Structure formats: structure tokens, C-alpha cells
Structure 1
Amino acid sequence: MDNTESYSKNESKGFYKLSQTQRIGFGSGDLAQNLIYQTVSMYLLIFYTNVFGISAAAAGVMFLVVRIIDVIWDPIVGAIVDKSNPKLGKYRSYLVWGGIPLTGFAILCFWNGFSGSLAYAYITYVGLSMLYTLINVPYGALNASLTRDTDEITKLTSTRMFMANLGGLAVGYGVPIIVQYFSPDGKINSSASGEAWFTTMTIYALVGLVLLIFCYKQTKERVLMDEKETENVKVSDLWVEFKHNGPLRILAFFFITAFAMMAIGNSAGSYYMIYNIQAPEMLPYFMALGSIPAFIFMPLVPAIKRAIGKKQMFYVFLTIAIIGMVMLYIISVIPSLKSQIWLVFVAQFVKSTGIIVATGYMWALVPEVISFGEYTTGKRISGIVNALTGIFYKAGMALGGVVPGLVLAYVHFDKDNVLEQSEFAQQGILWLVVVIPAILLILAMFIISKYELEDDVIDKINYEIESRNN
């Protein structure tokens, strides 16, 4: 039997069971996207400042401009996705259609052929971001189309985040090693490493395209609205949904806070290891520890959630992340501790454990707010909802781009010095790695405390929706 059809006849309509192959197939889409997203998040800023040759302030402003464009573009994509019904799949088809040009623009973003050209940087980064949306919005909606079963969604999200962090590990650990290998001077932050960055991104982008095609082949859309019910979807439905869907508003603000925290910390990680710890050779291990806890803890998420509930799970792991950041700060300001690289790694592991579980599980809440919207309005506009969450997580990414750029400019970061920075610049880098992210985590904890869709509530909502449709 085809694995896309492997569900029991005893299942209630809409509450489908998914095979492990289906979960891995769906998760491979996140793995593919993270090979590009995480590379951009972790390394594009240092590529622009130290390799491509534009100032930190100019790069920061560009990141903000691109995100403003996304605020306009994302709801347009969401409306198109909800209204359209392509033959290759309402949501799946975009994995292929968008995947091919996305691969090209990802490679061009890390090409040094027009070194120092702000116009070239804008064109390629805007193109990359728009194409990423064209894949990410329908991919997020695809999640909600596979099943209504909350236990299955939890298992699916656990597998998905495992795969996403596999991508993060491949980027965090692998990218600097490959760039150093191909770079003539063995560095990742010098103008001589331009061709090495281009080669590395070509490898990662092409692997990502293969994974997107695999995701397309392994997924099947089952929970969909009738075509007549979605043909009148408009961009303005986004704001209507945001106004009337309280849980969606809570989740949206959690997204912006969480992604701002991750983007700021990730983009500063390479600066931190090179200039603060002064151990660039340890950068791959430090970045890898941003993903490794996922392979230990994400498979345990379904059991943890059953034991303590999803809100308590958020509180526990957000607190663990804050503890890890406090540890990292203390280690970084005491010279005798900073020289002990294993302590830096322990603190990074603790911090990453909290971040991975809390921010990983938030994706399981997206199908819940989609169902809540369908329950209250009669419209299951998955594309619009994912466009809205996309706007907020990209707003978080915007902060992750503009804040580091402006902070580095404020502390007089010297982009031409590949070995050391002033004490003030090092302090600014430390703000970016732990202080600002810790403040955002405290805010995220307050936001998620307002989320009210417990499992018994959302299960009742989903069963009522299916009873209406029968």
C-alpha cells in the first residue's frame, strides 16, 4: 500500500493517523528550508560585513527593508494559496514551483561577483525572501491539511522539529568547516573567502531542492475546505482573522518575540566565537550545540506534554533557556572562566535546550488556531493564517537583522579586522548573544501565558467542525 494512503478505516473523518515515513517526508521540507534559512540567519550578516564589503548599519537597514516588503507580500501569497487549487496539490505544488528559483537566489546571495554593491545585495536578498515566502506559507498550511488529530500533530511537530534542527546542525557545524576548507586563507570572515561561500551555498541549496521534492512526494492533503468556500478569499481576510481570532493574536506575538530572540542570537554567534572567545576554530562546535539538543529532547516532547501540559512545558523550557543565557553571560565576563571553552559549550547546550523545545513546539499551535478560526467563522483559511504567522516571524527576523547591525555600528565594530575588536565592541556582541535574547524570552513567557486553547478544548472544537461537515 502507498504510504500516503496508510490510514485505518476506523479513523474518524479528519482525524487521520500518519505513518513515520509521512512524518519524515513532511519534516524534510523543514530540513530543506533550514539549509537556506539557517545559513542566512547565522551567516549572511557576517558575509555582508566581512566578505561582501558593506557596512553593518547598511546591512541592518537592508534587513529591515526586506521585512517591510514581506509584510506586503506574505498576505498576498496567503490569499493566492487559499484561493488556488493547483493540480499538483493545493499546498504541495509550491514546494516544487518555488523550490527551483529559491535554489538559484540562495546561491546568488552568497556570490561575491558584485562585491560591495548594495543594489545587488538588495535584489538578491529581496528575491530570496519573496521566494522563501512562496514555499514557507503553503508549507505551513500543508501541516494543518494532513490531520486534525492533536496527538498526531504533536508527533508530526516533534518529527518536523527534529528534521529542522538536523538542518540547523548541518548549517551551524558544517558551513564554517566547508567554507574554511575551500577558503584560500582558511577563514570565513575575510574577503578572500568569497568563492568558498559561493561553493558552500551551492551545495546546500541543491541538497535543499532534492529534499523539497521528497517532501512533495511523501505528503497528502486531506483536511481541505471545498473549493467554493475558498474562492472568495481576499487579502483583507488576514486582518479580519487577526481581529476575531484571539489565540492567533497570542501566537503571532509569541512568534515575533521568539524569532527576534533566535535571529539576534544566531547572527551574533559567529562574531562571539571569533572576537569574544577568540576561538574561531571552535565556531562549528558552538553553532552545532544550537541544534544538538533537538535530537535528545524533541522525540520526548509528546511524553513531556502529556505529563505536564503544553503551557507548563513552555514555562519550563523558556526558563531553562534563560538560565543558559545567564550562565553564558557570567562565563563571558570572567576571564578565568571564558578561557575554559567547555564551560562555554555547557552554557550553550543549556540555552539551546530551552530554546529548541519552546520554539519548536510553537508550530504545533498553528493548526489549532486555524481550527479555532474555522470554528468561529466557517472558513478554514490556512494560507492566510500561515501568512499572518509568517509576517510576525519575519518581523522577528527583521529585528534579528537590524538590531545586530545597528548595535555593531554603535559599538564601532571594525569589519576590516578579522582577528580582534575593542572591548566596547566585544560588549556589544555579548548584548546580542545573551542580554537582548534573555529579555525577549521573558516577554515570550508572558505572552504564551495568555494562550487558552488547551488540548481538551481544541479536540472538542475539531469534533464539532467535523460533525457540521457530515
Structure 2
Amino acid sequence: MSQNATETTDPAPKPVKNMVPWNERFSYSLSDFACNLSFQMVGTYLMIFYTDTFGISAAAVGTLFLVARVVDAFDGPFWGIMIDYTHTKWGKSRPYWLWFSIPFAIFCVLVFTTPNLGLTGKLIWAYVTYIGVDIMYSAVNIPITSILPSLTSSPQERVVLSTIRQFMGTAGAAIITGITLGMVAFFGKGSTTSARGWFIWALIVGVIVVIIFGIVFKNTKERVQTKSSRKSIPIKKSLRALRRNWPWAIIIFINFIYWLGMQTRSQVTVYFFKYNMHNTALASIVLSLQFVSLIAVVLTPMTSKWIGKRNTMLGGMILAVAGQLLLSVGAGHLSIPIIIVATIIGYLGTGYVSGLIAVMLADAVDYGEWKNGVRAEGIVTSFSSFSAKFGMGIGGVITGWILSGTGYVANHAQDATALHGIELNYIWVPLIGFALSGIALAFYHVDGIEKQMLSDLAVKHAKENEEDAEAAEENTK
């Protein structure tokens, strides 16, 4: 706990409601809608685009994803530090949507572009564009989480904001994964491997993303002002917010292993239905079932208020594991009804998980200030993007290497070993990721100390604001 919080004898003030207007709630939620509309297209379809359209081997794609994750080890924290160091009339986090939405959209188009190059040229193009889209994604995605503690100081309002954000983010993911193959075929004259189809559809999505981020920038406001938020924070000082911040460490680990599992499942979904089930059209239907997770997203505020955030997320992980176990039964019997039921159960579970990660990271911002006296929204939340992308990247590496190691050959009938490799990625790797996330949650205990933490911080902020007001008044004399 910070020294200022422990030494004060003033009575704790009542927490400020800090309710966010509905138009701002909706605008904030559009940020995740835009990110998922574009990056879910990359995460779900880029591997099969590379192998079946661009002509790069699965092993080479896996290596590309691994190299990109090494870059992410630097770009995620870099953007977090930049946010902490930023001080503009628009705030700390908001400007990044204005500055980087267009570059992000451009790279989202380039990554699905197929220039006429040799194998080496294709690999260079893939490395440059994929790493570029990764870096630009961090620039627009990290502010979505870093701005949350600045939108409101109310824990329940943060849950509401994150729930609405997750609702729209899930909707964006479900829409893009559900219609992409159909749109590619439409623009590609009936072919889901058409280079022209992929380019035109990526271009349309990119334009939509830029427009949406313009709306998000215009309609959001950083209203929670503390002594730290009113000035730039040096790098060395911002890193102090991570010292002994165990809630942050636990959520970052969960974010990594959870998205590793999600990525391996999503990016082999088309493979599974194309080669194992011999029904490519069914892939779009199953991916669009992500809409089911919206039920859990809507119930998240009520459930977390009833049993706590940690227990709500843990229940979601248990449902996700149960869904994967049932999915193994459906895959073993090639039963479409069982696969659909298993997918619905799994998406209900992940619906509870995804919306709470950002909320618990916002709590980690408070915890870092409470424990270490430093409020650093940027550096604390930047590792969310890094850990998620690192998990997705390692998931991509695992997928690529398993497909290559089991003998996958693009656009050909697969032998039993290759089919087993696809199933391994689709069922068992995600199951392990969800199970490990559930185990990690057993060590998360912020819910029990939240009231005391927020009370102490309210006293600290009131004292700091009073001191700053007195200093400003003294300077005007």
C-alpha cells in the first residue's frame, strides 16, 4: 500500500459514481468492434490464406508467427510506455486512435495482398506486412484497455463498459468470421481461395475500420484525472507499478495461455471442416456461433456482482473445457449435432472470460498505485496486447508446426496422420490452455481487498487534487 494511503487519518470519502453516458459507452464499445472486425479476419483466416492462396508452406507460416512474437516482446511495452509519456489536449490514450487507425487499416489490406513474387519475395512480403499489422494493432488496441481506468473510477461501471465493449467486440468477430468466406467467394467469382476476392474484401473492411475509429475518438473522454494522469510519467517510474503486482502477473499469464488456445482453435476451424468433415460451408456457420457468447457477455455484470469477477471467469473456463471435451466426442463420431452443441457450450464459457480480462487489468492499475504509489495505465495494460498476441503467435507456431509435422498438403485430401494433427489443434491444445487458465485463477484474490483498495485510493486522490489546487492558486498570486 502506498505511504500516503496508510498515513492519512481523514475519513474515506464516498466513491464517486462516475457514470459514463450511453452514447460514450456505445462509442467506446465500437473500438473493440473495429479491432475484431479486422484482426479477427487476420487471426482466423491468414494461415489458410498463406497456405492455400499465397502458396507459403505451413512450417514457414509457423516460423513467421514466431518471429512476429519476438517483435511483440518490444512493441507492446513500447506503446504502453508511449501512452504513459503522452500528454495532449485529447488525453493520453485517445490520440492513438486518431494517429494510427489509417496505418493499421492499410496494413490489414496489405497482409491479404498477393504480389507476383517468387518464394523468397513472398516470404519477405509476408514478414513485412504481418509484422506491420501486428505493430499497428498494438497502437490502436492497447489504448482500448489503457483508457478504461480513465473513463470511470467505479468498479461496477468498468464492468458495464467492458461488457458492452465485449458484446460489440464479439459481434464484430462473429460477423467477420461468419461472412468472410462468402464475401471472398462473391468478389472472387465463386472461389474461397481467390487472391482478388481476399484483396477486395480486406479493402472494404479497412475503410470501415477507419470510419469507426474516427467515431470512437470523437465521442470518448478521459474524465478520471489524477496527479499521474496530468503529466508524463518517466519510464523508470512507470515500471514501478509492476513491482509485486501479482494480480497483473496472473491476468497477463491467463491472457497469454487463453488466447493461445483460442487461436489454435479458430485458425484451424476451416481446415477441420474442409478436410476432416468435408464440409467447408459448415465452418462459417460454426464460426458465426460466436454470437452465442453474447448471452454470457450480457450476464457478466450481474454474475460478477453476485459471485465476484474471479469466480465468474473461473466458471467460464470450466464451461470452455467442458465444450472442448464434448467437441472431442463429436469429432470422433463425425457428428455435426454434437459439434454444434459443444461449440455453443464453449462460446458461452469464453463469453464470460473475454469481457472480464480488461476489467481485471484495470483493477491491476489500481492495485499497482495502491501497492507502489504509481499509477501507470499504459505500461500495466500494454502487456494485455502483448500477452494476447504472444499467445496467438505461439498458437500459430504450434498450429503450423503440427500441420507440417503431420504431413499437411494444401488443397489435397489429407491422410489419417494429417487429419489427427488438425484435430489436435482444434480440440486438445485449446483445452489445455483453458484448463491452465482456470488453475491460475485460484491464486487471484483482488475481489476480497477491492473495497479497501478503492477507499484508500479515493483518499489519496482527494489529497493530491487538493494539493494541486492549492499550488495552482499560489502560482496565480
Same fold, TM-score > 0.5, yes or no:
yes
Counterpart of 2:129 in structure 1 is 124
Give 1:462's match in structure 2, choosing from 438, 454, 469. 454
Any stretches of 5+ residues in structure 2 without a counterpart? 1-12, 463-477
Shift of 1:230: 4.7
Shift of 1:351: 1.3
Aligned letter for 1:187? S
Counterpart of 1:200 in structure 2 is 201
Question: Cα deviation per residue 1:414-466 (whole Å; 9 max; x = unaligned)?
Answer: 0142xx31111111111111111111111100101111100x52232123212
Counterpart of 2:314 in structure 1 is 315
Could you tell me how far apart the structure 1 residues matched to 2:331 and 2:184 are? 27
Shift of 1:304: 1.5
Comparing 306-315 with 157-166, which one deviates more in the overlay? 306-315
- Percent of aligned positions with the same letter in both sequences? 26
Asked if the contact 1:253–1:392 (Cα under 8 Å) also holds between the matched residues in 2, the reply is yes
Give 2:355's match in structure 1, choosing from 351, 355, 360. 360
TM-score, normalization by structure 1: 0.91
Asked if the contact 1:78–1:235 (Cα under 8 Å) also holds between the matched residues in 2, the reply is no
Question: Cα deviation per residue 1:236-269 (whole Å; 9 max; x = unaligned)?
Answer: 844x443421111111111111111111111111
TM-score, normalization by structure 2: 0.90
Matches within 5 A, 1:71-82: 71-82=73-84
Question: Cα deviation per residue 1:127-177 (whole Å; 9 max; x = unaligned)?
Answer: 111111111122211111101111101111111110000111111101111
Comparing 361-370 with 303-312, which one deviates more in the overlay? 303-312
Counterpart of 1:8 in structure 2 is none
Could you tell me how far apart the structure 2 residues matched to 1:409 and 1:53 are? 14
Shift of 1:13: 6.9
Matches within 5 A, 1:70-469: 70-114=72-116, 116=119, 117-184=122-189, 186-188=190-192, 190=193, 193-226=194-227, 230-234=231-235, 237-238=238-239, 240-289=240-289, 291-334=290-333, 338=334, 340-417=335-412, 420-454=413-447, 457-469=449-461
Could you tell me how far apart the structure 1 residues matched to 2:237 and 2:304 are? 36
Question: Cα deviation per residue 1:34-66 (whole Å; 9 max; x = unaligned)?
Answer: 011111110011111111111111111111111
Q: 1:467 to 1:227 in 2, by over 3 A?
A: closer
Could you tell me how far apart the structure 2 residues matched to 1:51 and 1:12 are? 59
Question: Cα deviation per residue 1:314-359 (whole Å; 9 max; x = unaligned)?
Answer: 222211111111111111112xxx1x42332221111111122123
Asked if the contact 2:237–2:374 (Cα under 8 Å) also holds between the matched residues in 1, the reply is no
Shift of 1:229: 7.0
Could you tell me how far apart the structure 1 residues matched to 2:312 and 2:417 are? 37
* 1:61 alignment partner, SS class: helix
Could you tell me how far apart the structure 2 residues matched to 1:225 and 1:56 are? 49
Could you tell me how far apart the structure 2 residues matched to 1:410 and 1:302 are? 44
Asked if the contact 1:162–1:298 (Cα under 8 Å) also holds between the matched residues in 2, the reply is yes
Asked if the contact 1:318–1:355 (Cα under 8 Å) also holds between the matched residues in 2, the reply is yes
Could you tell me how far apart the structure 2 residues matched to 1:12 and 1:310 are? 22
Shift of 1:295: 2.5
Asked if the contact 1:14–1:222 (Cα under 8 Å) also holds between the matched residues in 2, the reply is no
Root-mean-square deviation (Å): 1.8
Shift of 1:285: 0.5
Any stretches of 5+ residues in structure 1 without a counterpart? 1-10
Asked if the contact 1:230–1:379 (Cα under 8 Å) also holds between the matched residues in 2, the reply is no
- Larger Rg belongs to: 2
Aligned letter for 1:44? L
Question: Cα deviation per residue 1:72-101 (whole Å; 9 max; x = unaligned)?
Answer: 122121111101112333211111111011
Shift of 1:311: 2.4
Asked if the contact 1:95–1:139 (Cα under 8 Å) also holds between the matched residues in 2, the reply is no
* 2:88 alignment partner, SS class: coil
Could you tell me how far apart the structure 1 residues matched to 2:229 and 2:247 are? 27
Question: Cα deviation per residue 1:7-58 (whole Å; 9 max; x = unaligned)?
Answer: xxxx967540122222111010000000111111100111111111111111
Comparing 293-302 with 100-109, which one deviates more in the overlay? 293-302
Aligned letter for 2:200? T
Counterpart of 1:4 in structure 2 is none
Q: 1:77 to 1:114 in 2, by over 3 A?
A: farther
Could you tell me how far apart the structure 1 residues matched to 2:373 and 2:243 are? 15
Shift of 1:390: 2.2
Could you tell me how far apart the structure 2 residues matched to 1:164 and 1:322 are? 22
Could you tell me how far apart the structure 2 residues matched to 1:427 and 1:187 are? 27
